[in-house]
Amino acid sequence: MQLVSVAAGDLIFRAGEPSHAVYVIDHGEVSIITNDPTTPSEIVRLHDGDLFGESGVLEGRLRSANAVAVKDSTLLVTEGDAFLKAFGLDNDKALSLLKLLCRRLRNTTRRAALSAFERDVPEAGGPDDGDLPPARLHLIPDSEKLIGLLGSDMVEVRKFPFLVGNRFGGEVSAITTNRNFSVPAAADPEFSAPHFEILRRAGRYVIRDLSQRSGTIVNGTVISRFSEHAVADLHDGTNTILAGRLGSPFRFRLLIERGRVTS
């Protein structure tokens, strides 16, 4: 364990970096910020005595958010291996339980962040839409694997955010709701649950990556929630969305048609 001083505005760690250490604020203030270059938002503000960075160490995951010093601060920094040993967490059963708790906490935090984001996104037809006409969106399976699982029927996207991802648990049928499309792709690590979401911003549409590790490719542009580029713009007409790395079998087309839209 060592004592480290950071100045106001210093980046303590960045989303996408390895989780090598756990931090305790001895004195000061730290902000945990979402990894979204277009609309970053604060997840939580931490103060004296607060612990952070432990989830990544416990789960062996890359950092999922940015940590920034709000003011001059002093941190107690413990290397990940030392942290696990100090608390007896090299015991497999104890570590498995804590990993489960971390996953639940992370999912709760993500849902809260999505809800906050949704409140900030104007609905189509609102005052920020300008002269853009309304649009109709259709998501279409566009790979041999997806067509084999789902057929070639289009899914109409009406509500936002609209989440798309894997449906784990051995189910064999897809689930489509107003805000969700779940594909029965078994335990394929390339396709996360959820993997990406479609968002509306002032009458325009974007894709945000939500995947656990593999990212999303939108019209040839790679985005990842663990990088500085987690969001990609969509254009009118046909867009291509590849859930996963290049060569992934989970390919969609998203058709955006402007014009008269009836509800």
pLDDT tens-digit readout, 132-147: 677 999 999 999 999 9
At 185 the pLDDT is 84
At 122 the pLDDT is 42
Domains of the chain: 2-118 (2.60.120.10), 128-258 (2.60.200.20)
Rounded to the nearest angstrom, the gap between the alpha carbon of residue 199 and the centroid of all alpha carbons in its chain is 13
Q: For residue 188, what pLDDT band results from cuts at 50, 70 and 90?
A: confident
For residue 17, CA distances in Å to 100, 184, 211, 243 come to: 21, 31, 16, 22
At 176 the pLDDT is 84
At 127 the pLDDT is 38
At 248 the pLDDT is 93
Model pTM score:
0.54
At 103 the pLDDT is 58
The 231-233 sheet, strands edge to edge: 175-177, 180-183, 162-166, 196-201, 204-209, 231-233
Half-sphere exposure of 48 (CA within 13 A, CB side): 3
Round to whole Å and give the CA distance between 13 and 32: 10
The average pLDDT across 123-140 equals 65
Q: ω before 161 within 30° of 0 (cis)?
A: yes
